[in-house]
């Protein structure tokens, strides 16, 4: 039986997305810091809360769309696969650091842009999933050839 590597988190961005372009200048990569929280009441009746931070990596056009439309505080759903990286410490080469990231293939914008005073982006429908291959908005449907009402010059006032 094959294994399954899939992660889904729903949370809020802890900071604005960090968008960079690879050295070829063509491919974008964005890093999202997504916070999820859990609340419970302990045996003493005190409300407890734990926040988990998830590092999410987004590639290509989807990374650009996230950078343009998301900001700190925005609520998102991120789906992807878990991937662990390791690298040596610069000061101590025999010490290795590890991090586990979600490499996203779907980002769903659940809340507003997060930027006060700005309307939501017109190209992004709220609640519309954005996937790596379809980050560009869908084309508008062509107008129907059938008349929908009287022509402007036929209106008597």
pLDDT digits (tens, 9 = 90+) for 47-86: 999 999 999 999 999 999 999 999 999 999 999 999 999 9
Confidence label for 93 from pLDDT (cuts 50, 70 and 90): confident
Domain count, the chain: 1
134 DSSP β-pair partners: none
Full-model pTM: 0.68
Instruction: Measure Cα distances from 109 to 65, 94, 119, 145 in Å.
Output: 11, 41, 14, 34
Is 153 inside a domain boundary?
no
Q: Please give the biggest Cα pair distance in the chain.
A: 85
The reported pLDDT for the residue numbered 99 is 94
The pLDDT tens digits for 1-55 are: 889 999 999 999 999 999 999 988 789 999 999 999 999 999 999 999 999 999 9
Residue carrying the six token digits 């008349």: 147
CATH number of the domain where residue 74 is located? 2.40.50.140
112 contacts 132 by C-beta, under 8 angstroms: no
Q: What is the enclosing helix (H) or strand (E) of 148?
A: none
Is 85 inside a domain boundary?
yes
Is 99 inside a domain boundary?
yes
105 contacts 132 by C-beta, under 8 angstroms: yes
The reported pLDDT for the residue numbered 139 is 40
The reported pLDDT for the residue numbered 39 is 95
The reported pLDDT for the residue numbered 132 is 55
The pLDDT tens digits for 114-145 are: 554 444 443 334 444 555 544 444 444 444 44
Residue (of 1, 4, 2) closest to 80 by Cα position = 4
Domain with 72 in it? 7-136
Residue (of 52, 31, 3) closest to 102 by Cα position = 31
């Amino acid at each position: 039986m094959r294994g399954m590597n899939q992660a889904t988190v729903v949370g809020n961005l802890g900071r604005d997305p960090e968008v960079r372009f690879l050295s070829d200048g063509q491919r974008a990569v964005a890093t999202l810091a997504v916070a999820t929280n859990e609340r419970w009441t302990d045996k003493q009746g005190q409300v407890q809360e734990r926040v988990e931070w998830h590092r999410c990596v987004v590639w290509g056009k989807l990374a650009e769309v996230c950078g343009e439309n998301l900001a700190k505080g925005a609520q998102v759903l991120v789906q992807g696969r878990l991937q662990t990286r390791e690298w040596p410490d610069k000061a101590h080469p025999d010490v290795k650091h590890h991090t586990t990231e979600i490499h996203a293939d779907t980002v769903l914008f659940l809340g507003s842009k997060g930027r006060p005073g700005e309307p939501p982006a017109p190209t992004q429908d709220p609640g519309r999933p954005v996937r790596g291959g379809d980050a560009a908005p869908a084309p508008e449907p062509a107008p129907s050839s059938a008349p929908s009402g009287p022509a402007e010059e036929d209106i008597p006032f």
